[in-house]
């Protein structure tokens, strides 16, 4: 990114220096990000604020010595891959900052689409990318990570007040976590992030940030498995029926312990076949194909554009229902019709009353 000439105009730096626990500090470079802990339910209560969880790539945006840099979650320099974002960072009213956020590509309905983001990165396209900024870590010579979250976000909102697109401020909501979670799932976004409102920013995974995903749950046909050792199983290959054909839907490799894996393996070993049961050609050298007799109960975040499950987790195995037999044809058909007619005639005849015993109660039938 070409350097920008420093203008020393930073109306927000005076706010930063007054924050609780803000301290003067040199530019630290890349900061290991704070990571959320996955939970099944969002927290509630006034201690928490909540944000929408956006399905994209975590990115840390910094500006120092008149140069913008965008880092991946692991600290790789991805400025060139996120070119439009790096260019926009140079227009923020500060001489130096470090922002935490998420890069997304919205679909036609405005929802972040991870598949589209991957496609754009593969094609070198950046014009559809948006950068949602949700935290501020360093600003014009002040390390503000120790300040309360809501104070850091207040300064961030002022910094981004006139930010050019594709840089956007990620709002937080001071409502109950379960209420926002329900709305998020109805909107079709990935889930929610709940954060302790007065917590400092700490690198690594902790309990001050909680993420809850909007899981879908569905049963998929088991079409094969990836063996692990002689008695284990690494993953189940999944299929789903589309327009009458059995098509590939990805694999699931989590959700069972060693004992359950051994039990699944025994059931799968009895069904191994030489060819794939799928109605499409699929080369998977590590896979043993099986007769499609079982279905797996799978929870997953969503499906890719190629109809493959994302972030799947296994929740059980069950036999597929037996297929209904078609009605007989040819010589058997008249016999069947005569049998049905006989049953119909018999149903019209009065049935004899069962013999009574003892005090007039009917004798029980043996079925």
Q: In what order do the strands lie in the sheet with 204-213?
A: 34-38, 204-213, 191-196, 48-53
Catalytic annotation on 53? yes
What is the average pLDDT value for the chain, to the nearest integer?
85
pLDDT digits (tens, 9 = 90+) for 191-241: 999 999 999 999 999 999 999 999 888 999 999 999 998 788 999 999 999
Per-residue b or e along 340-366, where b marks 16 or more CB atoms closer than 10 Å to that residue's CB: eeeeeeeeeeeeeeeeeeeeeeeeeee
Structure-block tokens of residue 235: 């993953």
Catalytic residue chosen out of the listed positions 53, 153, 195, 211: 53
Confidence band of 109 (pLDDT split at 50, 70, 90): confident
CA angle 199, 169, 30 (to 5 degrees): 60
User: Nearest to residue 1, comparing CAs of 60, 85, 59?
Assistant: 85
In CATH terms, the superfamily for domain 216-319 is Nucleic acid-binding proteins (2.40.50.140)
Give residues with Cβ within 8 angstroms of 231, minimum separation 6.
262, 265
Q: Give this prediction's pTM.
A: 0.70
Q: What is the reported pLDDT for 169?
A: 98
Domain ranges of the chain: 13-213, 216-319
Give the single-character DSSP code of 180: H
CATH 3.30.470.30 fits 13-213, yes or no: yes
Residues 12-20 have a mean pLDDT of 73
**CA 68: distance to chain centroid?**
30
């Amino acid at each position: 990114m070409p350097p920008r000439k420093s203008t020393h105009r930073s109306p927000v730096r005076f706010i930063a220096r007054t924050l609780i626990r803000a301290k003067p500090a040199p530019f630290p470079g890349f900061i290991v990000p704070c990571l959320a802990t996955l939970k099944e339910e969002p927290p509630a209560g006034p201690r928490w604020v909540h944000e929408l969880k956006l399905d994209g790539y975590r990115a840390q945006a910094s500006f120092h010595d008149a140069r913008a840099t965008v880092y991946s979650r692991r600290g790789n320099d991805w400025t060139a891959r996120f070119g439009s974002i790096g260019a926009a960072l140079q227009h923020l009213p500060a001489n130096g900052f470090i922002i935490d956020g998420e890069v997304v590509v919205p679909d036609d309905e405005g929802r972040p689409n991870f598949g589209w983001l991957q496609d754009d990165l593969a094609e070198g396209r950046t014009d559809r990318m948006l950068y949602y900024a949700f935290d501020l870590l360093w600003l014009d010579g002040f390390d503000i990570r120790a300040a309360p979250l809501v104070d850091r976000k207040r300064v961030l909102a002022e910094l981004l007040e006139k930010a050019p697109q594709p840089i956007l401020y990620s709002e937080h909501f001071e409502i109950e976590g379960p209420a926002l979670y329900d709305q998020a799932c109805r909107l079709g976004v990935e889930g929610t992030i709940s954060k302790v409102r007065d917590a400092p920013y700490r690198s690594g995974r902790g309990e001050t940030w909680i993420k809850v995903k909007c899981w879908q749950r569905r049963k998929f046909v088991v079409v094969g498995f990836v063996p692990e050792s002689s008695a284990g199983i690494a993953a189940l290959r999944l299929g789903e029926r589309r327009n009458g054909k059995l098509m590939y839907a990805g694999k699931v490799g989590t959700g069972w312990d060693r004992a359950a894996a051994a039990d699944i393996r025994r059931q799968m070993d009895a069904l191994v076949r030489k060819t794939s049961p799928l109605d499409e050609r699929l080369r998977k050298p590590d896979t043993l194909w099986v007769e499609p007799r079982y279905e797996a109960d799978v929870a997953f975040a969503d499906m890719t554009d190629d109809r493959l499950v994302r972030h799947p987790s296994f929740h059980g195995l069950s036999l597929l229902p037996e297929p209904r037999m078609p009605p007989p044809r040819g010589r058997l058909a008249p016999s069947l019709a005569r049998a049905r007619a006989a049953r119909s005639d018999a149903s019209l005849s009065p049935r004899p009353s069962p013999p009574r015993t003892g005090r007039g109660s009917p004798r029980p039938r043996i079925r």
